[in-house]
Chains A and B, each alone.
Chain A
Amino acid sequence: MDKPEKLIVDGRRLDGRLPDEMRRLKIQAGVLKRADGSAYVELGDNKVLAAVYGPREMHPRHLQQPDTAVLRCRYNMAPFSVEDRKRPGPDRRSVEISKVTREAIQPVVFLELYPRSGIDVFIEILQADAGTRTTGITAASVALADAGVPMRDLISSIAVGKVDNTVVLDLNKQEDNWGTSDMPIALMPRKKFITLLQMDGHFTPEEFKHGLSLAFKGCEQIYEAQKQALRERYSIKSEGE
């Protein structure tokens, strides 16, 4: 596909959004039976499934920690999730994303309540359209709550970037391909503590600050949707049914 001449026309992005608008978000908790906790999230055309097993006995034994649980995250893209088929199995990108995902989530989990155990988080990308790692973190956080893993807060995650010299919230695939900056962020929404921050491209300090503000606003919306999904999952049915 060739680069479009302009990515922002009359103040609107190619898909009609304003610079501070997120794509459509849908979150469902408890979608799998076998896993201890699960969540399914759609952000624009991203379709992501997260599952949590644990706390459970940790194997292999030698990786156990005597006084805390060990959190492990695995981010995986299905071969059919992207335009050019991706060979199955972890590649270097997936390994890095798995690591930063774990480091984004770990600060909120009360790991010390479960010595010697393991908590496994699996993120499966079924369909990708830029923003899979942030969608994965958003889903993983809901899955952990769904599993009953005690946490200080949920983690909400979104990316900001720059196209046509404008800082925008939640890049889609075209904007990710042709833009000049990409910055995924994850937050503990209550205290606005940043637990994931990556960036590649070009930002002036002002653009960076503006990007952070946009991300904070986006994460507020995501946080509401995450909480709503959990409430719906466990909503009290009317009595006398």
Chain B
Amino acid sequence: MYEIVSSVKRDYIVDLAKQEKRIDARTLDQYREVDIETGLLKNAQGSALVKLGNTQVVAGVKIERTEPYPDSPDCGVLMVNAELLPLASPTFESGPPDEDAIELARVVDRGIRESGAIDLDKLAIKAGEEVWAVFVDIHMLDHDGNLIDASALAAISALLHTKVEGIKDWTLPEFPIHKKPISVTTAKINGKLMVDPCLDEENVMDARITIATTEDGSICAMQKGGIGYFTREELERAYEIAISRAAEIRKHVG
């Protein structure tokens, strides 16, 4: 189900964009207020509730034993799953994850996996037979735009605060997470780039680009979404925005 955006609202946002203004009075490169609460769920090894403006997302980390994948017999397994819960938006329906939920989960997964944030090769118990599986489940609770960034932030925050004490027969000294990949999404409206689109902006945007970076500025994941396009200069500009916003956001993450 998708929402029809009224022409009045669409025109208003597009006109504002031309003047480099936004519907919620932010500047083009201004991120909304970020609030992160960790360790709120006792049955999860790690948990985080992220508020990004009015968007709210919760992530839980569960660690269990499992069989390794055949092609990586001595590596742990990372699985990221996202649910666009119908309670978060009138446009989300019950049922198995749709293309938006799957894309979101896979983009968040790449940010964590490709940055090497978790040392998966330390998570083997018995090579070829048993390894530790890290499940990250992300649930959207309230959709006001930019679920990708909020989800990635919830996931990395939950992982960084994962406590291994309660895990039965845990085999390692600690939970091997060492990096803080941060994802920053920029939308394009009427030729202007604006970071952290709110819901109204998302409904009107031509395209979005999500860039995940680590502390040293290297890029670990990217995803373009939407049916519009980006020029090369726009992508380079989006990278600049992503680096500087990520540095600020990283301070909120433990």
Give the residues in chain B near A47, CB-CB below 8 Å: 40-41
Whether A124 touches B87, Cβ cut-off 8 Å, given contacts A33-B144, A85-B64, A89-B96, is yes
In angstroms, Cα B88 to Cα A32, docked, is 8
B139 CB–A CB distance under 8 Å: yes
Q: Mark B55-73, 1 if CB is under 8 A from A, else 0.
A: 0101011101000000000
Q: Mark B76-92, 1 if CB is under 8 A from A, else 0.
A: 00000101011111100
B54 near A79 with CB under 8 A, answer no
A34 near B144 with CB under 8 A, answer yes
Give the residues in chain B near A233, CB-CB below 8 Å: none
A126 near B1 with CB under 8 A, answer no
In angstroms, Cα B85 to Cα A53, docked, is 13
B144 near A79 with CB under 8 A, answer no
A114 CB–B CB distance under 8 Å: no
Contact of B90 among A53, A76, A80, A85 (CB under 8 A): A53
In angstroms, Cα B41 to Cα A83, docked, is 11
A126 near B41 with CB under 8 A, answer yes
A185 CB–B CB distance under 8 Å: no
B77 CB, nearest partner CB in chain A, Å: 13
Whether A127 touches B86, Cβ cut-off 8 Å, given contacts A32-B141, A33-B144, A85-B135, is no
A76 near B64 with CB under 8 A, answer no
In angstroms, Cα B47 to Cα A84, docked, is 15
A51 CB, nearest partner CB in chain B, Å: 4
B171 CB–A CB distance under 8 Å: no
A202 CB, nearest partner CB in chain B, Å: 29
Q: Mark A104-121, 1 if CB is under 8 A from B, else 0.
A: 000000000000000010
A76 near B85 with CB under 8 A, answer yes
B167 CB, nearest partner CB in chain A, Å: 11
Give the residues in chain B near A151, CB-CB below 8 Å: none
In angstroms, Cα B98 to Cα A7, docked, is 46
A35 CB–B CB distance under 8 Å: yes
Whether A124 touches B43, Cβ cut-off 8 Å, given contacts A79-B62, A79-B137, A80-B137, is no
B144 near A81 with CB under 8 A, answer no
Give the residues in chain A near B6, CB-CB below 8 Å: none
B81 near A88 with CB under 8 A, answer yes
A87 CB, nearest partner CB in chain B, Å: 9
B205 CB–A CB distance under 8 Å: no
In angstroms, Cα B142 to Cα A82, docked, is 22
B43 near A82 with CB under 8 A, answer yes
B88 near A59 with CB under 8 A, answer no
A32 near B135 with CB under 8 A, answer no
In angstroms, Cα B49 to Cα A78, docked, is 14
Whether A32 touches B142, Cβ cut-off 8 Å, given contacts A51-B87, A80-B61, is yes
A216 CB–B CB distance under 8 Å: no
B251 CB–A CB distance under 8 Å: no
B245 CB–A CB distance under 8 Å: no
B60 near A79 with CB under 8 A, answer yes
Interface residues of A in 31-90 (CB under 8 A from B): 32-35, 38, 45, 47, 49-51, 53, 56, 59, 74, 76, 78-85, 88-89
Whether A34 touches B43, Cβ cut-off 8 Å, given contacts A79-B135, A80-B62, A122-B85, is no
In angstroms, Cα B87 to Cα A38, docked, is 9
In angstroms, Cα B1 to Cα A127, docked, is 29
Interface residues of A in 1-56 (CB under 8 A from B): 32-35, 38, 45, 47, 49-51, 53, 56
Give the residues in chain A near B97, CB-CB below 8 Å: 88
| Cβ-closest chain A residue relative to B95 | A89
Q: Mark B27-66, 1 if CB is under 8 A from A, else 0.
A: 0000000000000111110010000001010101110100
A88 near B43 with CB under 8 A, answer no
**14 A–B contact pairs at CB < 8 A?**
A32-B142, A34-B54, A34-B88, A34-B142, A34-B144, A35-B142, A51-B88, A56-B90, A78-B60, A79-B137, A85-B137, A122-B85, A122-B87, A124-B139
Given A34-B89, A78-B139, A81-B43, 8 additional A-B pairs, CB 8 A = A32-B88, A49-B141, A81-B44, A88-B81, A89-B96, A126-B58, A127-B41, A128-B43
Q: Report the 4 A-B pairs with minimum CB-CB distance, sorted nearest first.
A: A80-B60, A51-B87, A80-B44, A122-B87
